Amino acid sequence: MTLTELEKISLKNPILFYDGMCKFCSGFVQFIIAHDHEMKFRFRPLQADLESLKSKGLSFINDYETVIVIKNKNIYTKSDVTFLIIDEIGGRWKFLKFFKYIPKSIRDRIYDLIAKNRYFLFGKRAHCHVPSDQDRRRFL
């Protein structure tokens, strides 16, 4: 699937790109699946599209250290992804938007610290997460 095709999908459904080898990232995806009752989000491992995303101006991506969301052809990274997800899934998670008042530079530094240490803190899979049959249609 090309990045152009993915951008078209993003007009209807936000697409979250994540490190498919990272246990924390896979857990984050499972959290979204459990709370995205309208099934808005689609998911794709970064491993499938890293070079294409870098060509879109995301050359700072190294070792899959950020989740990325494309929504309406706009690209969101780092802590901004969290707030986009909160807006999309709504519900009781809206209280977390309070953290948006923390300056983006500080939020992103905290994000980077966790991202750089995620394998040490949470572990790494030998292969990408395989979704259940029920969730498979949400993975691109």
Q: Give tens-digit pLDDT for 68-97.
A: 899 998 889 899 999 999 999 988 888 888
Supply the pTM of this predicted model.
Answer: 0.85
Mean pLDDT of 10-28: 91
Whole-number percent of the chain with pLDDT over 70: 90
Tokens, residue 2: 């090309």
Q: Domain map of the chain by residue range?
A: 3-138
pLDDT band at 63 (very low <50, low <70, confident <90, very high): low
Number of helical (H) and strand (E) elements in the chain, helices listed first: 6, 4
Lowest-confidence segment of 13-17, 64-68, 111-115 by average pLDDT: 64-68
pLDDT band at 16 (very low <50, low <70, confident <90, very high): very high
Residue 19's SS3 state is coil
Q: Which residue has the higher pLDDT, 58 or 6?
A: 6
Give the pLDDT confidence score for residue 62 in this predicted structure.
Answer: 64
Q: Give tens-digit pLDDT for 99-135.
A: 999 999 999 999 999 998 998 999 888 777 677 888 8
E strand or H helix that includes residue 68: strand 68-71
Residue 34 CB partners (closer than 8 Å, separation 6+):
none
Lowest-confidence segment of 16-20, 21-25, 45-49, 59-63 by average pLDDT: 59-63
CATH 3.30.70 fits 3-138, yes or no: no
Residue 131 CB partners (closer than 8 Å, separation 6+):
43, 138, 139
Give the pLDDT confidence score for residue 54 in this predicted structure.
Answer: 66
